[in-house]
Amino acid sequence: MQRMRCLISLRRQLPLLASRLLPSSGVRCYETGEYLKTQSDHYSGTMAEVGAKIRERTGVERGYHVVPKSRKHLLEHHPKKEQLPARSMQDSYTHAILPLSVDEMARERYINHLGRVRMGRLMEELDMFAVWLCHRHINIPDLPKDVPLPYTFVTLLVDRIDFSDIENIQVNKDIEVSGFISWVGNTSMEATIYTRQLLNDKYLNVTKAVFLMVARNAINSASAPVNPLKPADAVEQKCWEESDERQRKRKATESQGVLVWPPQQHEQAIMYNLLQRTTPKDSFDLNRRALPPKCNWMEDSQRSTMMNPFPENRNAHNTIFGGFLMRQAIEISFITASIYMRGRPILMCLSDISFLQPVKVTAFLQMTAYVVYTDQSYIQVMTVAKNWQAESGEPTTTNVFYVTYKADKIVDEVLPRTYREMLWYIHGRRKLMAALNLRPDYPMPEEKEKQSNTTMTAK
């Protein structure tokens, strides 16, 4: 009992862990954007004009075709790595405007039932803008001017999108979208994107996002080389180093995922504590579980929906573009979190979005959201997207999204019933700690000796 109280006490100290913030290497070059704007104040027009420029550069015509127009003839213009000159972050930097102040149709699409801006809609713009930044980074000197760009850009993953002051954003004011390519590999590019709004002569930051894009050839059948990135000065060099470190940490985190590698020792202690709390002390029944007060089973938090995406949400290859999937994930996760807490939570972070398989325009899309972890006023939601083909009736997991919300009150604790749900619980805890920029250590170093003594007493 004493051990259990100790662990519960430690759990309640999450808001106090702010002093254990991760080191500054987690910074995502956000301050670099303001600097680049002073160096290259390139303007791409409205977001609608950005979309038109992308279509023009790729040679994609408007209108839906069951079989997309072939781009195979562009393969002869596919460059070699050595033909691509180095680029700087200034070369790709640009900004565009979402003209909500003058575009009534856009306002209708962006307003929610509370009169605020729909964050899901904004995700669609960010995904398209990430593609546009890739277009601006790629430079093929030998490409004839009348030949479309022989590239296809695919969203591989979204590292993280942080949200701030979204309850203060006005739907009748323009939103500025800006960004640049902050890191490149052989065929991949990292796009750092900001959105903000000018209110009372002061800019209000809205989102800070990091996308990882992959370059493919004109027919999306093989990878394609990209221009190397050469920092132009010390500011760009620092941003490059932070981005490079983030790539290494991401790969290390993926290899240590809780679904592919056993939980760490402190996480196993959490799992054992969960089992103790939900197992009746007077029963040896294998399957009997008891729900503590002010708690909910994880399985009861599930919300699911099915939809037909339709061609209006497609890209040039008749697959559903990532922005639409992110919008749907945010909207169902908001519904799930709202019903769970019986209120209206604030969106804080969207992280580790993986695009595992493309969603064909002919498929049905299923979105299922679960509350996988809670702590104090925080809610961590995991949303899984599945692709259903009517002919086979077999589902394929295409995407996983992690969405962090903050409530205006202490929420009931979510608890796992099965071992797999326990793994989800640990996974969700990791995501929340990462969203709050906290170290995942548990318990705190100064509490380890205390827990050890408590465990010995309990024995």
In this predicted structure, the answer to whether residue 369 has a pLDDT above a threshold of 80 is: yes
- Residue 300 in this model has a pLDDT that exceeds 60: yes
Q: Quick one: pLDDT at residue 405? A: 97
pLDDT over 90 at 160, yes or no:
yes
Q: What's the pLDDT at 122?
A: 95
Superfamily of chain region 26-252: Hotdog Thioesterase (3.10.129.10)
Q: Which of 146-150, 295-299, 352-356 has the lowest average pLDDT?
A: 352-356
Which H or E run includes 434? helix 419-435
Question: pLDDT averaged over the chain?
Answer: 87
Structure tokens at 362: 């002919």
What is the per-residue DSSP string for 70-114? P-GGGGGGPPPGGGSPPB-HHHH-EEEEE-TTT-HHHHHHHB-TT
Say how far apart CA 165 and CA 348 lie, in whole Å: 9
> Average pLDDT of 26-34?
64
What's the rounded Cα separation, in Å, for the pair 416 and 266?
17
The reported pTM is 0.87
pLDDT at 317 over 80: no
H-run or E-run covering 334: helix 322-341
* Cα–Cα distance, 41 to 93 (Å, whole number): 8
Per-residue pLDDT band for 454 (boundaries 50, 70, 90) equals very low
Reported as a pLDDT band with limits 50, 70 and 90, residue 32 is confident
- The CA-based angle 71-72-75, given to 5 degrees, is 105
Specify whether domain 256-458 bears CATH 3.10.129.10: yes
Looking at residues 393-416, what average pLDDT do you find?
Answer: 95
In DSSP terms, 349 is beta-bridged to: 162, 404
- Label residue 7 by pLDDT band (50, 70, 90): very low
How would residue 247 be classed by pLDDT, with cut points 50, 70 and 90? confident
Q: Is the pLDDT of residue 365 over 60?
A: yes
Whether the pLDDT of residue 449 is over 60: the answer is: no
What six digits make up the tokens of 289?
A: 């579980």
Please report which confidence band the pLDDT of residue 391 belongs to, taking 50, 70 and 90 as the band edges.
confident
**Backbone phi, then psi, for 69, in 5-degree steps?**
-60, 135
Pick from 68, 70, 84, 61: which is nearest to 218 by CA?
A: 70
Q: Which of 269-278, 296-305, 349-358, 438-447 has the highest mean pLDDT?
A: 296-305
Q: How many residues does the chain have?
A: 459
Q: When comparing pLDDT for 456 and 139, which is higher?
A: 139
Are the C-beta atoms of 296 and 413 separated by less than 8 Å?
Answer: yes
Which candidate, 42, 119, 78, places its Cα nearest to that of 334?
A: 119
How many Å apart are CA 193 and CA 205, to the nearest integer?
12
- Report the SS3 class of residue 283: coil
- Provide mean pLDDT across the span 304-327: 89
Question: So what's the pLDDT on residue 149?
Answer: 95
Helices (H) and strands (E) in the chain, counts: 11, 13
- The average pLDDT across 275-293 equals 83
The mean per-residue pLDDT over the stretch 111-138 comes to: 94
For residues 459 and 457, what is the distance between their CA atoms, to the nearest angstrom? 5
Using pLDDT thresholds of 50, 70 and 90, give the confidence band for residue 225. Answer: very high
CA atoms within 13 A of residue 283's CA, in its CB half-sphere: 10
Q: Please, where in the chain does CATH 3.10.129.10 lie? A: 26-252, 256-458
- pLDDT 10s digits, 170-209: 999 999 999 999 999 999 999 999 999 999 889 999 999 9
Contact 171, 182 (CB under 8 A): no
What is the average pLDDT across 449-458? 42
Mean pLDDT calculated for residue range 348-377: 93
Report CA-CA distances (Å) from 62 to 54, 59, 68, 69, 174. Answer: 12, 10, 11, 11, 27
Give the lowest-confidence range in 25-39, 113-127, 291-305: 25-39
Q: Structure tokens of 93?
A: 């930097």
What are the percentages of helix, strand and coil residues in the chain, rounded to 5?
40, 30, 35
pLDDT at 455 over 70: no
Beta strands in 94-230 (DSSP E): 94-98, 151-163, 175-184, 188-199, 202-217
The highest-confidence range among 39-48, 107-116, 270-279, 405-414, by mean pLDDT, is 405-414
User: What share of the chain in percent tops pLDDT 70?
Assistant: 88
Instruction: Write down the residue that tokens 């991401």 correspond to.
Output: 250
| pLDDT greater at residue 65 or residue 208 | 208
First-to-last C-alpha distance (Å) of the chain: 10
Question: CA 308, 404, 254: angle at the middle one, nearest 5?
Answer: 85
